[in-house]
Amino acid sequence: MNEARPSFVTTLIEQRGNVAATRARIDAAVARAEVLEPSLRAFTYRPDSYVEPDACAPLAGLPVGVKDLIDTADMPTSYGSPIWRSHRPQADAPVVAQLRALGALVFGKTVTTEFAWRQPGPTVNPWREGHTPGGSSSGSAASVGAGIVALALGTQTVGSVIRPAAYCGAVGYKPSYGTISREGVHALAASLDHIGFFARDVEVAALAHALFVAKRADAVDSVQAWRTWFAPLGAPPRLGVVRTPFDERLQDEQKANFETSLARLRAAGAVVTEIEFDADLAQIVDALQVILRVEAGHAVAAEARDHRDQLSAHMRSLIDEGAAMPQARYEAALSLQAQLRARSAELMAGCDALVSVPATGTAPEGLDDTGDPTFCAPWSLLGVPAVTVPSGWSASGLPLGFQTIGAFGEDLATLRVAAWIEQVIGARRELAPPASAEATA
């Protein structure tokens, strides 16, 4: 990390207890949202005013977007469905309660696709209005990519953190499965659902990891404590390149960007090895699709029973496919998942991390489809940590990403590798601040 310019996280730590700085963070986010939201439409709800947070808490008034799949007692939570329009949960989801306890400000609820499946919401890509932001965590990705907030909560069942982060020019971090409670989060597929984070850079994602996964508030007691806890790598990493049976789907610009990124990593000292991934990636993706279909039917059973006419065609099809799925096929998919998760360290092939593309390329044009999640799917089935960082830009000015994957439970190590990769290939850009709003960067 660059010591010449204080990072966002170290500045946050240094400003703890500074009420004026806390208020300025909130005011800047509000001003930026006021200008961008009419076209971006990342939020389903933002309050008219905010209760002053604890300026001495670890997150000290940090504005955070919360995906509208996650319960908030003081804000509507509709799960992206008209069935739940204006629904007010009785309590915050534990992850939201923890946000508040840490001093963060729930800035608003961000758009999700219907029950985190394919029916899009109104959010547009922050870099090109006619393109999707991805899904299902559409609003969270766009709100971070647009610089309104530096951190947002999302969820991933197949590719709903990593892919939209890549599309929107943000960092996406999917922790190891089960490390954050999903209580108070509407399920899509319980064996696959993860809570994850969108962040302005890997260090902010690591801050979220420290507080929500590792639960190490002491890591941010001081700048020195933070630099010790999230210390840079001592040497360039060993990286294993994962090629897939689906690579023919890649856009030329994504292929070229990935190869250029690998070359830059090699030049910076990384040992980059083409590995033979010791598992059938096509079989893995098929197993995920089986589990998803069966478990979605359970997750949305009440809505399908009582309000089927208000479900999208996408959701009705998913539920019907799950109902027709043989039980033996579902059990075989769960068995494969358990076997591969137990072998995750072995599958790393002696590398510190695996690397892959996070998506087929840039965000597709149009808002009717949220993009192909296939390149995230294997890591969602295994439940291993994954991080994507911005790695370049298409000729038309849309972001491209680069995905880092770790062994199950090795989230901090994976984030450290991702931070090193970000330093070498990072291509984050600031959106030009609107004339009437101060940038939050």
Q: How far apart are CA 97 and CA 436, in angstroms?
A: 33
160 is catalytic: yes
Concerning whether 49 is annotated as a catalytic residue, the answer is no
Which residues, in sequence order, are bridge partners of residue 390? 401
Helix (H) or strand (E) holding 268: none
Active site residue 136: yes
Burial string for 186-206 (b: 16+ CB within 10 Å, else e) reads bbbbebbbbbbbbbbbbbbbb
Cα–Cα nearest to 424, from 197, 275, 236, 229: 236
Q: Please enumerate in sequence order all residues whose Cβ is within 8 A of that of 105, keeping only pairs 6 or more positions apart, or say none.
A: 26, 50, 53, 61, 62, 63, 64
Both tokens assigned to 51: 């209760």
Query: If DSSP codes are grouped into helix, strand and coil, which group holds residue 390?
Result: strand
Catalytic residue among 7, 78, 136, 380: 136
Say which of 67, 109, 344, 391 is annotated catalytic: 67
Catalytic residue among 7, 160, 380, 394: 160
* Contact between 155 and 137 (Cβ < 8 Å): yes
Q: What is the length of the chain?
A: 441
How far is it, in rounded angstroms, from Cα 61 to Cα 177?
28
How many helices, marked H, and strands, marked E, lie in the chain?
Answer: 15, 11
Residues 6+ apart with CB under 8 A from 272: 239, 241, 262, 265, 266, 355
How far apart (Å, rounded) are the C-alpha atoms in residues 61 and 135? Answer: 27
Q: List helix spans (H) across 137-241.
A: 138-145, 162-168, 202-208, 223-229
* Catalytic (active-site) positions: 67, 136, 160
